[in-house]
Amino acid sequence: MAAPRPPPLGAPVGGPGGSGGAVPAAGAPAGVSMRMFHGEVFLGEMEVFPMKQGGEGGLPFPSNEIRVSHLSPPSERCPPLAILQTIAPFSVRCKLQSKLMPPLPSLHRLYLVCFNEFKSAVVVVGDEELHLVAMPTKSEKVPCFWCCSARSGLYASSVRMLNLRCLAIVFDLDETLIVANTMKSFEDRIEMLSRRMDVEDDPVRIAGMSAEIKRYIEDKELLKEFIDTDTVTDNGKIVGTQKEEVQPVSGGQERVLRPVIRLPDRNAILTRINPEIRDTSVFVKLRPAWEELRSYLTAKGRKRFEVYVCTMAERDYALEMWRLLDPEGNLISPQQLSERITCVKSGKSTCSKKSLQNVFRDRGCHPKMAMVIDDRLNVWDDTDQHRVHVVPAYIPYYAPQAEMANAVPVLCVARNVACNVRGGFFREFDENLLRKVFELFYENGLLDLPYAPDVGDYLVCEDTNFVPSNKDQPPIPEGMRGAEVEKRLNGQLYRGEQREGQQMSSSTRLPDDERMSFRGTGAGRNVQPNGGALAIVPSVFVTVLQEIGRLCDSKVEFRSTVSNGKSMQFSVEVLFSNEKIGVGIGKTRDEAQVQAAEKALQNLESSYLSFVAPIAGVPNKDSRKSLGSGNGFLEDITCSDVDISMHEPSGSTLKQDHSNNLDKLSSVMSLIREHCLEDQHVVFRDQVQNSSPARIEEYHFQVELAGQILGRGSGSDRDIAKLLAAEEALKTLKSTSDPQIKKYLRPVRCNG
């Protein structure tokens, strides 16, 4: 804490703008004499100077008297003016100084307590608090105050957060942290996909939709078993329900015991919103890496963020979803749930927008000190959008591998963003705001106040809604949201859905839905993990390219330059194993890098797809046509649920004159898939190449299943090496007695 500075000899008592004494200089606002009280105790006469000249109503005190009701909570490290400048910037309404010299002892004591203990004297006027901040002065030791206004209750909550170096974080639920479905929503989505398949003629998209339907059916069967028997069969094991007690929310009646089954290996939970009604059972998928994000928020027993939820879902559903995410109540205590979870009715009116003012209706935090994690930007009020970190929508049925497309999971990225935001906010608070506030005197003016940090200063907001082309349909919405939740859980089968379904059957078009796709920048291209179209976050291009380089043991380099012209544009080249494969130009280095990475992926696509098509069981001649301009490295184009991933180094375009070998390779891989359990990864791994100039280049491949080597192959032709490795792997699968391999194979069927 900075001590008051010794006044210069003979300096006058300051006026409101630092330009006069007890009698203000010419042109300065005239002072008004007012009596000051603490409760009923008279403190003395004060001279009050408005901050603005000539403004009627410039003095906020009713009845021309100043009546202090209480003192604010003490602050450990933050002077009151720094707190007020953060939550109510430039809200100084007037200045006060004692009219009597020497002042009455009671006024002098109040001044010293406020100054030394970092407190303010609070005058309550309606829904507003006027905080009298004790200020050092360059003059004689006379009690001097600045009067700042703030919303009632906001100062007290902000003192605690700023002293603890704590901000607020607001989570959306559906498709941000979870995806939830009932039996009815499962059936609707399966039916919708089936209609799409009926009119689709692209084999790749058909295969993707078929795989998506299988994933829906698998989880639907688990939910049905839970509804019927209160158990599920997971990997051959019968798992029973656990009764989990739901703490009554404030105002609630009796406690509730819900039947719950947690399947951590699946990142899934089955629960029943109303324990008495089985049809309110819900299958919930949790977004991967939620535990890592949750642990960060409360690491080492101290909160880095105060947690809130803002959703367009029905309230009982939202409360239960959050309970599943935070079962111990470490992020939001049961006593706080009612005020920390905000449910906004979805609709087209402006009042249906999410807003931080609504989230903090209890004055628990100022919007400037809060960040939002949501998969949609346009549902937030315009004034809050710069504080939203937009994540790709969680779509585990449409693109189950999307969460792993990045080297860092989506919620771990969100954790890192939150960490950077918090660090940047308090670095600005400490190094700029606090330092300059300690240098201020009573004589300073309003314009001498320093800038206060805003969470939005440390977030880069990106959200461009993807509009699919005529031939690329977006993924269907995967879970319930908004009004749909209430109707599903109340068992309402409204006829509008049936009419909509009939119309879709004839037109094969889906209604517009805000949550049908990821958001990316305008530079984003369509990626088709399961046959649909999907816009991706720009950074994915860079991340995927780097991940390909890592898998291929190839060096990926980005080289950037700045043009010398007036446009100051950046140019970035991508080198893959020292070969230039992409160039991007943009107004910023990041923009140019993203564009270069995207073009690099397009250039690699032809090489990659010509190889992956026969492995996936798709005729090579159709693979390029069916995938259009999509990014091949993110495709999931297998014709079964098995995900075959290749470890293929990049190079020049693969030659396509080995059709016989490719056909054989495709047949062998089909047989391998028939032996393996679903969802098991069969991997081609590229071994060391002999690149000696004295010898013919030779390719070496091995086939692995769950880390076990099944076969090896080598040859002067890449496809021949893969074929030999695949044939040896097939022989191994047919004859193996190794239990470490057999556990990944389908049971042998007995004929007859």
Q: What is the helix (H) or strand (E) element at residue 603, kind and residue range?
A: helix 589-616
pLDDT at 461: 61
Residues contacting residue 127 through CB under 8 Å, at least 6 positions apart: 151, 152
Mean pLDDT score, 116-144? 92
The three-class DSSP label of residue 541 is helix
Q: What is the pLDDT of residue 548?
A: 79
pLDDT at residue 519, as a whole number: 30
Where are the extended beta strands (E) located within 160-295? Answer: 167-171, 178-181, 231-234, 237-240, 242-246, 256-263, 268-272, 281-286
pLDDT at 71: 96
- State the Cα–Cα distance between residues 522 and 93, nearest whole angstrom: 45
Query: Binning pLDDT at 50, 70 and 90, where does residue 665 land?
Result: confident
pLDDT at 486: 55
Q: In this predicted model, which residue has the larger pLDDT, 375 or 671?
A: 375
pLDDT over 90, % of the chain:
43
- Residue 621 is predicted with a pLDDT of 36
What's the pLDDT score for residue 405?
72
Distances in Å between the Cα of 727 and the Cα atoms of 476, 536, 724 are 39, 37, 5
User: Between residues 332 and 591, which one has the greater pLDDT?
Assistant: 332
Of 100-109, 230-239, 435-444, 738-747, give the lowest mean pLDDT range: 738-747
pLDDT of residue 201: 87
pLDDT in tens, 95-126: 999 988 888 999 999 999 999 999 999 999 99
Q: How confident is the model at residue 57 (pLDDT cuts 50, 70, 90)?
A: low
Region 253-271: what's the mean pLDDT? 90
Q: Please say if the pLDDT value at position 510 is more than 50.
A: no
pLDDT at 721: 84
Per-residue pLDDT at 207: 92
The runs of H, that is alpha helices, within 330-460 are: 337-340, 356-359, 410-428, 435-437
Q: Cβ distance 16 to 49 under 8 Å?
A: yes
Region 236-256 average pLDDT: 79
- Which range, 445-449, 582-586, 694-698, has the best average confidence (pLDDT)? 445-449
Pairwise pLDDT comparison (727 vs 17), residue with the higher score: 727
pLDDT attached to residue 504: 38
The listed range with the strongest mean pLDDT (244-258, 413-427, 485-499) is 413-427
Residue 656 confidence class, pLDDT cut points 50, 70, 90: very low
Q: Is the pLDDT of residue 509 over 50?
A: no
What pLDDT is stored for residue 338 in this prediction? 87
Tell me how far apart the alpha carbons of residues 670 and 355 are, in angstroms, rounded to a whole number.
53
Q: How confident is the model over 171-196, as a mean pLDDT?
A: 95
pTM of the model: 0.63
Residue 515 above 60 pLDDT? no
pLDDT bin (cut points 50, 70, 90) of residue 430 is very high
Structure tokens at 715: 């040859």
Look at 33 and 716; give whichever has higher pLDDT. Answer: 33
Phi, psi of 636 (to 5 degrees): -120, 90
Q: Which of 662, 632, 668 is nearest to 650 (CA)?
A: 632
Give the model's confidence band at 710: pLDDT under 50 very low, under 70 low, under 90 confident, else very high.
confident
Instruction: State the pLDDT at residue 448.
Output: 92
Going along the chain from its start, the domains and CATH numbers come out as: 32-164 (2.40.290), 178-286 (no CATH), 287-460 (3.40.50.1000), 553-611 (3.30.160.20), 676-743 (3.30.160.20)
- Mean pLDDT in residue range 556-566: 63
Residue 651, pLDDT above cutoff 60 = no
Q: For the chain, what is the mean pLDDT?
A: 76
The secondary structure of residue 535, as a DSSP letter, is B
539: pLDDT confidence band, cut at 50, 70 and 90?
A: low
Residue range 11-31: mean pLDDT, rounded: 45
Order of all β-strands in the sheet with 570-576: 556-562, 570-576, 579-586
Distance of CA 702 to the CA centre of its chain: 39
Say which residue, 66 or 627, is predicted with more confidence. 66
Could you report the per-residue pLDDT of 579-633, keeping only the tens digit for each?
788 888 887 767 788 888 888 888 876 454 444 444 333 333 333 333 333 322 2
pLDDT above 60 for 419:
yes
Residue where the block lists tokens 């009715």: 345
Sequence-distant (≥ 6) Cβ neighbours of residue 627 within 8 angstroms: 204, 528, 605, 609, 635, 637
What is the average pLDDT across 332-338? 89
